[in-house]
Amino acid sequence: MANENLNYEFCDKLICDFEKVIKKPITKKSSVYYTGIDLGTACIVLAVLDENYKPVAGAYRYADVVKDGMVVDYIGAINIVKELKQEIEEKLDTELIYGAVAIPPGTDVLDGGAVKNVIQAAGFELTNVLDEPNAANNVLKIKDGAVVDIGGGTTGISILKNGKVVYIADEPTGGTHFSLVISGAYNMAFSEAELYKRDPKNNKELLIVLKPVVEKISSIINEHIKGHDIESISLVGGTACLSGIEKIIEKQTGIITHKPQNPMFVTPLGIAMGCTQKIL
C-alpha cells in the first residue's frame, strides 16, 4: 500500500500473534505481565502481553453485562473478568497483577468509575484507564484519518490529525442491531441470529439483508466526518469482521476504507499496550 498511513503491518502481526496465543498461550516466564481488559456491550476480552509487550495469552466471552459502555450487571461483569483471569493464570502458571481498561468516549462522567471498580474487584491492580479511540490507535498507529469502531452496542467515530485524536463521537447502532435485523428477516431467535451472523460462511448472503443497517452506519459516519478532511477510514470492532462491510462503507462515504485482519481484537490489544506497572 502506497499510503503509509494505512500500513497495518504492526497491527496484523500483533493480532495474528494474539489469535495464536488465545489457542496456545506462551508459557515461557516473563518478568511482568500486562493485561488489557475490554468490557464491551457484546464481548469481554482479556489480552495479556509479556515484558516486551508481546502477546502471550488471551481469552474472551460473549456477555450482556455492559450496555453502551455502561456496566449494567456489576456482579456478572466481575465474575466473568475473574473467570477469564483465572483461566489465563492457570494456563500461564502465574498471577496477573497489572490491568488496564478503556471507556468509550463520553462515558467518563456517567460511568462513575464502575468499569474501574469491576477490574479492581476482579483482583487486578488498575494501572491505566484509556479512552477507546486512543487504545485502538496504540495498535493501528494511524496519523491522519478516521477510526470507526463498530462494536456490539455502538459505533464510535474518532478523527485523528497528526497522530492525535481531535474528534470523538459514539452512536447507539452496532452489531446488536444487525442481529435484530437477521432475527426478523430469518424468523430466528436473537441468540440464534447472533451465531448465524458470526459464521463467516453466512456473511455474503447476510450482507444483502444487512445493507440498510450498514448504510445507516455509513450515514452516521458521514454526519460526523463532515467538515473534516479525511483521507481514509479504518474499521475496528467485532462487527467490522463482517466481510464486505468495508466496501459498502467506502461506497457510501466516498472515502477509502480498510480494516485490519481481525478488527475485533484491536481495542483489547491497544488497552493492554497501555497497561503499566504504576498502580493508579
Ligand X SMILES: Nc1ncnc2c1ncn2[C@@H]1O[C@H](COP(=O)(O)OP(=O)(O)OP(=O)(O)O)[C@@H](O)[C@H]1O
Interface residue list for ligand X (CB under 6 A) = 40-43, 69, 151-154, 174-176, 194, 197-198, 200, 237-239, 241-242, 264
Cell numbers standing for residue 98: 497489572
Q: Is the dihedral of CA 165, 167, 170, 173 positive or negative?
A: negative
Q: CB-side exposure of 14: number of CA atoms within 13 Å?
A: 27
Residue closer to ligand X, measured from CB, 25 or 104: 104
The yes or no reply on residue 268 touching Mg ion (CB under 5 A) is: no
- 183/253 with CB nearer ligand X: 183
Cα distances (angstroms) measured from residue 72 to each of 66, 68, 178, 251: 5, 10, 21, 36
Q: Which 126-155 positions form the footprint of Mg ion (CB under 5 A)?
A: 151
Task: Name the strand (E) or helix (H) holding 61.
Answer: strand 55-62
Distances (CA, A) of 123 to 9, 19, 59, 85, 200: 34, 25, 16, 9, 36
| Residue 238 found at the interface with Mg ion (CB under 5 A) | no
> Does residue number 40 form part of the binding site for Mg ion (CB under 5 A)?
yes
Could you tell which of ligand X, Mg ion, none binds residue 175, using a CB distance below 5 to 8 A set by kind?
ligand X
Compute the least distance from the CB of residue 7 to ligand X, in Å: 22
User: Is the CB of 50 or the CB of 169 nearer to ligand X?
Assistant: 169
Q: Is 158 helix (H, G, I), strand (E, B) or coil?
A: strand
With CB under 5 to 8 Å by kind, the binding choice for 43 among ligand X, Mg ion, none is ligand X
Quick note: the x/- pattern for Mg ion over 72-111, rule CB under 5 A, is ----------------------------------------
44 vs 50, beta carbon nearer ligand X: 44
Residue with smaller CB distance to Mg ion, 44 or 92: 44
Helix (H, G, I), strand (E, B) or coil at 173: coil
Cα–Cα distance between 211 and 12 in angstroms, integer? 27
